[in-house]
Amino acid sequence: MTTLRQPQNVLVTGGCGFIGSAFIRFLFRQAGFSGKIVNLDLLTYAANPDNVAGAVDPARYTFVQGDIGDSELVSRLCREHAVDTLVHFAAESHVDRSIVGPGAFMQANILGTYQLLEVVRTLSHIHFHHVSTDEVYGSLGPTGLFSETTPYDPSSPYSASKAASDHLVRAYARTYGISTTLSNCSNNFGDEFKLMQQLTTVRHIQSMQTFCYLSKRLLTSCGPNLYVFALMGWLRNEQVDCAQRYGRGGKWQSPLCRIQSLLITVVRHKRQCAATLI
């Protein structure tokens, strides 16, 4: 019989971002969740506090603007709020931004994750879930899918920094015995998505990638490609191996340029519709 964790007081890093906010909204809708959520977010360019507006219980929700690299702050929040689960979404992301300025990615994704792990090492009752990306595996060929056994083959400063953070999580679990899980999800898009994340000029625009639709509306019912549903299953299962790694994709492979073309078409159509109402 599978033993399930019951997360009660959860520290979410990057909870004002696209996927992190979807996770917070989802968690507050669960009838079995009666605990608290602490949302630690630096509020950089892709974060929006309005992503969780109206979806949280103010009596059980605390927002803190701060840096995951501030270990004293993270430790204090964990102790003050009796945190038992830490879900780490916060990251510098997007390949093109990492090509222009890789330093920020090394600082946030590698050293930031290290600082969080150091806190959990001293508070060993906390379960640590690390949210990563399938980009650590490199680019897909014309056919095939990534899996948990695909060798790492990062090809940008962004994916290299996430691969490094993955290795840190697994190493800390094996060395110090802390409770961890790790997920490598495909690209997500849907409500609250920052459109400019896809409408960019990138060097590897023809590379095949997998995409998964993540919607605030669809999260009311369980679908096979909804990342946060899978994430809750991984968080609760106590029967996983040390540093267990999970993949989650939409099983929809497409060149990035096709997704960009579709988004441009949608935006153009919406603008034309709006113009007719003026």
| Residue ranges per structural domain of the chain | 9-194+210-255
In this prediction, residue 26 carries a pLDDT of 86
Q: In the chain, which ranges are E strands?
A: 9-13, 36-41, 61-65, 85-88, 127-133, 180-185, 187-189, 208-213, 244-248, 253-255
In this prediction, residue 61 carries a pLDDT of 98
| Sign for the pseudo-dihedral over CA of 219, 245, 5, 61 | negative
Catalytic residue among 41, 92, 134, 192: 134
Catalytic residue among 158, 172, 227, 246: 158
Q: Sorting pLDDT into bands at 50, 70 and 90, what band is 140?
A: confident
Q: Sorting pLDDT into bands at 50, 70 and 90, what band is 134?
A: confident
Supply the Cα-derived Rg of the chain in whole angstroms.
Answer: 18
In this prediction, residue 57 carries a pLDDT of 96
pLDDT beyond 90 at 234? no
CA atoms within 13 A on the CB side of 21: 25
CA atoms within 13 A on the CB side of 172: 26
Among the listed residues 157, 156, 153, 134, the one whose alpha carbon sits nearest the alpha carbon of residue 205: 156
Burial track 61-97 (b if 16+ CB lie within 10 A, e otherwise)? bebbeebbbebebbbebbeebebbbbbbbbbbbbbeb
Q: Sorting pLDDT into bands at 50, 70 and 90, what band is 4?
A: low
Q: Sorting pLDDT into bands at 50, 70 and 90, what band is 95?
A: confident
Q: Sorting pLDDT into bands at 50, 70 and 90, what band is 247?
A: low
Q: Sorting pLDDT into bands at 50, 70 and 90, what band is 114?
A: very high
pLDDT beyond 60 at 87? yes
Q: Do 190 and 213 form a contact (C-beta atoms < 8 A)? A: yes
Q: Sorting pLDDT into bands at 50, 70 and 90, what band is 92?
A: very high
Calculate what percentage of the chain has a pLDDT beyond 70: 65
Which CATH architecture describes the domain 9-194+210-255? Answer: 3-Layer(aba) Sandwich (3.40)
- 51 in the Ramachandran plot: left (φ > 0), alpha (ψ -120 to 50) or beta? alpha
pLDDT tens for each residue of 161-217: 999 999 999 999 999 999 998 888 876 655 555 544 444 433 333 444 444 443 333
Q: Of the given ranges (81-95, 119-133, 188-202, 242-256), which has the lowest mean pLDDT?
A: 188-202
pLDDT beyond 90 at 62? yes
pLDDT beyond 80 at 143? no
In this prediction, residue 256 carries a pLDDT of 63
How many whole angstroms separate alpha carbon 238 and alpha carbon 86?
Answer: 15
SS3 state at 210: strand
How many whole angstroms separate alpha carbon 71 and alpha carbon 116?
Answer: 7
172 is catalytic: no
pLDDT beyond 80 at 39? yes
57 is catalytic: no
Mean pLDDT, rounded, for 70-91: 97
Residues in the chain: 278
| Sign for the pseudo-dihedral over CA of 155, 161, 165, 171 | positive
Q: Sorting pLDDT into bands at 50, 70 and 90, what band is 153?
A: confident
Catalytic residue among 92, 135, 166, 192: 135
Mean pLDDT, rounded, for 226-234: 51
| Sign for the pseudo-dihedral over CA of 241, 19, 203, 169 | negative
How many whole angstroms separate alpha carbon 46 and alpha carbon 235?
Answer: 25
CA distances 34 to 41, 59, 146, Å, are 22, 11, 36
How many whole angstroms separate alpha carbon 117 and alpha carbon 250?
Answer: 29
50 is catalytic: no
Residue bearing the bigger pLDDT, 76 or 26: 76
In this prediction, residue 137 carries a pLDDT of 84
CA atoms within 13 A on the CB side of 195: 8
